[in-house]
A and B are shown apart, each in its own frame.
Chain A
Amino acid sequence: MRNQDLTIDAGPFRVNVSTSDARFLDTLNDFYEHAIWREGPDVFDYGIRIFRPRNLRRWIRPQVLFEIDSRRPFEPHPLENAFPMFEWSLNWCIATSAHRYMMLHAGTVAFGDQALIMPGTPGSGKSTLSAALHLRGARLLSDEFGLVRPETGDLLPMPRGIPLKNASIEAILGFDPAAPLGPTYPKTRKGRVRHLRPDRESQIQQDVPAVPRWLVFPKYEAGAKETLRPLDKTEAFRQLAFNCFNYRLLGETSFRAVDQLIRQMDCYTLSFSNLERAVEQLSALASEPGPAAAGET
């Protein structure tokens, strides 16, 4: 197939993808049907090329390369993993350049115009929780990046395919057998992966920010009883800063933004072992009336 270009809006970022791989292109069209920019030539943030190298690996255990600004920051991946490679590599491009935003390592969903932020290291379960909450009707903002405008404290959406790894795939299918999952990628560097497609509403509303209201640090623990525990301000500050990709880089800006966020949000930890019960707890939290109480715990 000849090279084709596709321009997709990933939240505030416009991404131009150029590729000759038909299967990859189909997956992109399928996942981001409502986020494709169709209105003629425009300026984009990242011009990405996904292509097959012109060497032996073009035919034998074929590979695919990711290129941005004519540079190739990563080792090649097997051709069949083009889509997960694209997703992870785009995340890297954003994480290393988008310092106009404060970037939280967090899953974020919105109930109405108020946002739930779930920071977490891998294994915390934030992506699985984000996926489950989204399936139950919450607007997906992101499963990976909490994009905060530091000057206003707004959270910006960037609804993308949610990568579910290994056992999380079964957990989500158990939670909702009709979940719209993409193809299975059995052998990626993170194990077996399938992506949850963000719904039409979330994609169409990706230019509508949300106001951070709840901050919950999840922790998946086998056998744990689902408990929401309030978190004191010192711990909330420490952990939120720790879970911010560019906290140190942004200096005083992120210091002030984190301070403001922990004051305006209700802060908790959540240990959980059962996805259904965790979602119930979080949904109950989100349906409590009234704005957050001002002042400190």
Chain B
Amino acid sequence: MLWVRSGPPAVCRSLGRDTAVFDSATGETHLLTELPALVLSVMDKQAVSVADLIERIAGPVQLATGDENRIVEALSYLESAELVESRSPDRA
């Protein structure tokens, strides 16, 4: 499964721990907690796998298994908010 954000960059404003996000592709505003906001911030038009995302976020640092699961959850949430899309590899 690949993940992509095909819309224009979201407009983000920090509200302390949370981030307010405006998505001009849908006209919707989202209030994101830290992890989904972080995941969104490293995504763009290039379709990537979860492994690629983890590398963008954590670099060479090894993440605990729990962390990987939480990133997948965050992606799922972002998808239901229409902020990102999932694609099967042949479609990308």
Check B15 for interface membership: any CB of A closer than 8 A. yes
Interface residues of B in 12-36 (CB under 8 A from A): 13-18, 20, 22, 24, 27-29, 31
Residues of B within 8 A of A251 (CB): 22, 24, 27
Q: Is the CB of A255 within 8 A of B29?
A: yes
Stretch with Cβ within 8 A of B (4 or more), from A127-135, A213-221, A234-242: A234-242
Interface residues of B in 23-60 (CB under 8 A from A): 24, 27-29, 31
| Contact in complex: A297, B16 (CB < 8 Å) | yes
A252 at the interface (CB under 8 A from B): yes
B1 at the interface (CB under 8 A from A): no
Size category of the binding interface on chain A: 10 to 19
B63 proximal to A (CB < 8 A): no
B31 and A237 within 8 A (CB):
yes
Q: Could you tell me the distance between the alpha carbons of A252 and B15 in the complex, rounded to whole angstroms?
A: 17
The answer to whether B20 and A259 have CB atoms under 8 Å apart is: yes
Q: A252-B11, A259-B13, A297-B16 are in contact. Are A234 and B31 (CB under 8 A)?
A: yes
CB pair B20–A237 under 8 Å, yes or no, is: yes
- Docked Cα-Cα span, A247 to B13, in Å, equals 16
Nearest CB on A from B82, distance (A): 14
In the assembled complex, how far is the CB of residue B34 from the closest CB belonging to chain A, in whole angstroms?
12
- Which residue on B lies nearest to A251, using beta carbons? B27
- Does the CB pair B16–A233 fall under 8 Å? yes
Known: A233-B15, A233-B16. A255 touches B31 (CB 8 A): no
Question: With A251-B22, A252-B24 known to touch, is A296 a contact of B16 (CB < 8 Å)?
Answer: yes
Enumerate 9 A-B pairs (CB-CB under 8 Å) in ascending A order: A234-B17, A234-B20, A237-B31, A241-B29, A248-B27, A251-B27, A255-B13, A256-B22, A296-B14
- Extra A-B contacts (15), CB below 8 Å, given A234-B31, A297-B16: A232-B16, A233-B15, A233-B16, A234-B16, A234-B18, A234-B20, A237-B20, A238-B31, A241-B29, A248-B27, A248-B29, A251-B24, A256-B11, A256-B22, A296-B15
